[in-house]
């Protein structure tokens, strides 16, 4: 039996020598994750449809970089363009970590949804994720190693009026990731999801702009506030690193306790 004394735990979270691609790295959660991976030694490709946003992330890294940092490079990628995704898989070569964050939400009740709006949400949140994860996953499986991380949501478990199609795609993404975990596990590839709560990003700007809605969402979590993008970085570093070497097919909720409690009322007892 191996004893704790023989384990080297000092570098569990280090990502030195690993190549990561963070899709959606031009802003919000993707930007924070890209910087977090680089801070732990990974060489990170910041992929985004908005090349200027990806370059801005690289610039932020240049401002704060220090000992132990990896590198950051910008790469323009429209994930709705299947040919562009195929080209990215070829051009970016051997990738050890893939993080997929882009999503869109058309906030409408289901009876008001159009077919075009439905297709728009599914195309980005689910179809593009499928193409990215299977595309890069093939190379990881062939090399016998890798970590794929998708960005789900608390909406994979809980919904509300106006969130239906978004919630469908986030629940579907969890099953996509779990199936990939089952199919790629014997090839040494781990596949997991991060499920954020309400995070202050461009995607949630319509909520933040409504004072009552903003306050209600903040009060729902155990911590009584919205999350910040950088609070997702640690989860991604963990799942990408050897600290999570026995973790696959799971969902890590980073939601301030949103999904742990009812939240409607604080009882007297």
Phi, psi of 57 (to 5 degrees): -65, -45
DSSP 16: T
At a CB cut-off of 8 Å and minimum separation 6, what does 90 contact?
Answer: none
Instruction: Using alpha carbons, list the distances in angstroms from residue 243 to 23, 41, 97, 138, 196.
Output: 22, 14, 14, 23, 20
Closest CA to 31 of 64, 65, 55: 55
Tell me how crowded residue 161 is: count the other CB atoms within 10 A of its CB: 9
> Which position among 75, 166, 217, 238 bears the catalytic label?
166
Whether 246 is catalytic is no
**Angle at alpha carbon of residue 201, lines to 257 and 41, rounded to 5°:** 85
Instruction: Using alpha carbons, list the distances in angstroms from residue 190 to 30, 90, 146, 155.
Output: 20, 21, 6, 23
Residues known to be catalytic = 166
């Amino acid at each position: 039996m191996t004893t704790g004394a023989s384990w080297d735990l000092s570098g569990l979270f280090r990502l030195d020598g690993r190549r990561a691609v963070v899709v959606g790295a031009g802003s919000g959660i993707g930007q924070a994750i890209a910087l977090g991976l680089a801070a732990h030694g990974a060489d990170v490709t910041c992929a985004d449809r908005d090349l200027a946003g990806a370059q801005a992330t690289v610039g932020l890294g240049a401002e704060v970089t220090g000992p132990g940092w990896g590198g950051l490079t910008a790469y323009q990628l429209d994930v709705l363009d299947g040919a562009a995704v195929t080209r990215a898989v070829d051009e970016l070569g051997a990738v050890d970590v893939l993080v997929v964050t882009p999503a869109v939400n058309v906030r409408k009740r289901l009876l008001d949804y159009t077919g075009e709006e439905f297709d728009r949400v599914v195309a980005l949140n689910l179809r593009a994720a499928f193409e990215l994860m299977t595309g890069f996953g093939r190379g990881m499986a062939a090399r016998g190693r890798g970590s794929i991380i998708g960005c789900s949501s608390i909406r994979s478990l809980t919904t509300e009026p106006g969130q239906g199609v978004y919630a469908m795609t986030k629940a579907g993404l969890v099953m996509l990731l779990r199936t990939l975990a089952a199919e790629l596990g014997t090839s040494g590839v781990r596949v997991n999801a991060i499920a954020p709560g309400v995070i202050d990003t461009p995607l949630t700007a319509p909520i933040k702009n409504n004072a009552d809605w903003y306050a209600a969402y903040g009060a729902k979590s155990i911590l009584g506030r919205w999350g910040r993008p950088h609070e997702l970085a640690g989860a991604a570093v963990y799942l990408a690193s050897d600290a999570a070497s026995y973790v696959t097919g799971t969902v890590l909720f980073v939601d301030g306790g949103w999904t742990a409690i009812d939240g409607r009322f604080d009882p007297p007892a």
